[in-house]
Amino acid sequence: MPTEFDDKLNEIKQKCLNCQKCSLCHSKTNTVFSAGVPNAKIMLIGEAPGYYEDQQGEPFVGKAGKLLDQILGCVGFSRKENIYICNTLKCRPPENRDPLPEEKEACWEYLKAQVDILQPRIILLCGRVAVNSFIDTKLGITKLRGKWYEGPHFSKMMPIFHPSYLLRNDSKEKGSPKWLMWQDIKEVRRVYDQMN
């Protein structure tokens, strides 16, 4: 039987699927609302759908998404079991350009509703665009990543590198982006395991 929680999420999803608040609704193939487990303790928020996400209607299914799944899998997290995944924008910007301020503003309603309804205990902000939706800072992701910030509904929020950035920086040497990501995801797992 659907819970009140499912009803609220479905209602906002339907609204999002029919959204015409910005021009991306004219160029998209599919709206990409979310993947994973709605009542997960962890929500991961990325930037915006790319080509494959737009085609399939699911976040993080391209090359970056495969790497993300591998990284999460290394510490036993998976979208089938214990993580909810969504993006700052639900529609693909043409040619994967950066989201425009007015697009982020139009789409904020849906992301905010996802956070407010699901109230995850841990929020992972994947890359600069997601970080800037929640943290007012001029600092870059390299300075912010790996640290815990106070998030909405008493959640713990951590900026992490975007997997696309890791694809462009292949080294696994100590201090490299991939190595730092490994430290961060282990820290997330440690904190997750302490939560009841």
Distance of alpha carbon 68 from alpha carbon 138, whole angstroms: 25
Q: How far is the CB of 15 from ligand URA (least distance, A)?
A: 20
Q: Which chain residues interact with ligand URA by CB under 6 A?
A: 46-50, 53, 59-60, 62, 64-65, 87
Query: Whole-number minimum distance, CB 60 to ligand URA, in Å?
Result: 4
The CB-nearest residue to ligand URA is 46
Taking the complex as a whole, the smallest distance from the CB of residue 2 to ligand URA amounts, in Å, to 26
User: Which amino acid is residue 119, in one-letter code?
Assistant: Q
Q: How far is the CB of 126 from ligand URA (least distance, A)?
A: 6
Q: Crossing angle of helices 4-17/101-118, nearest 10°?
A: 170
Instruction: List the 42-46 sheet strands across, edge first.
Output: 35-36, 83-87, 42-46, 122-126, 156-160, 149-150
Helices (H), 81-127: 101-118
CB of residue 174 to ligand URA, shortest distance in Å: 27
Q: CB nearer to ligand URA: give 59 or 120.
A: 59
Based on CB atoms, which residue is closest to ligand URA, 3 or 131? 131
Q: Which of 142, 120, 119, 117 is nearest to 131 (CA)?
A: 142
Residue identified by tokens 């969504």 is 86
Q: How far is the CB of 196 from ligand URA (least distance, A)?
A: 31
Cβ distance to ligand URA smaller for residue 125 or 188? 125
Residue 65 or 120 with smaller CB distance to ligand URA: 65
Question: For residue 72, what are its two tokens?
Answer: 């999460």
Dihedral sign for Cα atoms in the order 32, 140, 193, 7: negative
Chain centroid to Cα 150, Å, comes to: 17
Determine the 3-state secondary structure of 125 from DSSP: strand
